[in-house]
Copies of this chain bind each other. A is one copy, B any other.
Amino acid sequence: MTTARILDFINTRRPEGPCLVVDLDVVRDNFHAFRHALPDSAIYYAVKANPEPAILNLLASLGSSFDCASVAEIQMALDAGATADRISFGNTIKKERDIARAFALGVGLYAVDSHEEVEKIARAAPGAKVFCRVLTDGEGAEWPLSRKFGCVPQMAVDVLVYAHQLGLESYGVSFHVGSQMTKVDAWDSALADAKRVFASLAKQGIVLQMVNMGGGFPTKYLRDIPKAEEYGQAISNSLRKHFGNNLPKTIIEPGRGMVGNAGVIKAEVVLISRKSDNDNHRWVFLDIGKFGGLAETMDEAIRYPIRTERDGDEMEPCVLAGPTCDSADVMYEKNMYPLPLSLSIGDEVLIEGTGAYTTTYSAVAFNGFDPLKAYVI
């Protein structure tokens, strides 16, 4: 997954310290793969996955829309050339003054999952379109969603009726099957729920138009994943199964699936040691860890592929840890990581599949270390 362009950049530019390098050609390919797999769905890139301006510029030029979590992300999408009608304020947790700011910037599409949020939007963005997020179970996702976002489908009906009563345009339903979802049929039961919400509202004279099918599309880490076409086919089949010929408008919000495999982190081995003479495994310490951008190793959830220059050599499982004085800064310990026995202090390693959810998670200055640098090429 380390492209020739990335390798060339690292080898010729020799950037100092840990850094992420993102290859825009891969982002472009991913965008086309999503468009090809789901030609009838609008693509709203989840800006939070990686908001580097060069990525947003490319996607805006390709015709992408943008799913934004905050006013700052909305501003970034506008700066990249997206018009406000291609922006969704997709966070269900918004300050009323931020809704007003987004509305002033022209944004007209908002996520909700509660009566309380509907009230804020009715006051701060009168007449705007809203979609209500429905809870899904997230089973099969490697970075599972909690119950934090969404409400049960019956409550979604009430929330959308309430929005209609307050003068908003009750526009649709959203769900999220869970990030890094590797089961292609995970969208089916959520689409069945969505259809039931559509039907309940239709009985009350409210015609919903849109299903936001969220993100969840995986990127390749260590294990193989289904291709975009397989997801597209499964989702299209489920849409027809539940909505028949009366298909709603659909939106997808890829983040990890759009940029995850486009980025590689270059890091350095700072120390390799054992805890006792008869310790049967080594501790390998890198110059990046859980607080420097690899937050998704929390609970050893995401397992990144790691390449070294010694990969042909004999391997042995190691504990892999970061460089800070924080004992929680250990990435893989319960499930140790096999690395070459010949790996040495000072060696460079490439952590693949790190284009999403790394730079922005990075701590400002924990232990005095700079936040993760990014180069987009």
Contact = CB atoms under 8 A, between A and B. Distances in A.
Interface of A: 46-48, 51, 68-73, 76, 90-96, 113-117, 120, 135, 143-152, 154-155, 158, 179, 268, 270-277, 283, 285, 287, 291, 295, 298, 321, 323-330, 333, 345-346, 359-371
Given A276-B151, A363-B361, A71 B271 contact: no
Determine how many copies of this chain the complex contains: 2
Given A51-B365, A155-B277, A368-B69, A93 B323 contact: yes
24 contacts: A48-B367, A48-B368, A68-B368, A72-B365, A73-B367, A76-B368, A91-B325, A93-B270, A93-B321, A95-B268, A114-B273, A115-B273, A116-B272, A135-B275, A146-B327, A146-B333, A151-B274, A151-B276, A179-B327, A360-B363, A361-B366, A362-B363, A363-B363, A363-B364
Contact of A368 (B70, B93, B146): B70
Contacts of A70: 367-369
Contact of A114 (B96, B150, B271): B271
A117 B298 contact: no
Q: Which of A47, A151, A327 has most chain B Cβ within 10 Å?
A: A327
B367 A273 contact: no
Nearest to A91: B325
Contacts of A295: 291, 363
A146 to B, nearest CB: 4
B276 A152 contact: yes
A45 to B, nearest CB: 13
A367 B186 CA distance: 26
A273 B91 contact: no
A321 B146 CA distance: 11
A205 B116 CA distance: 73
Contacts of A95: 268, 270, 287
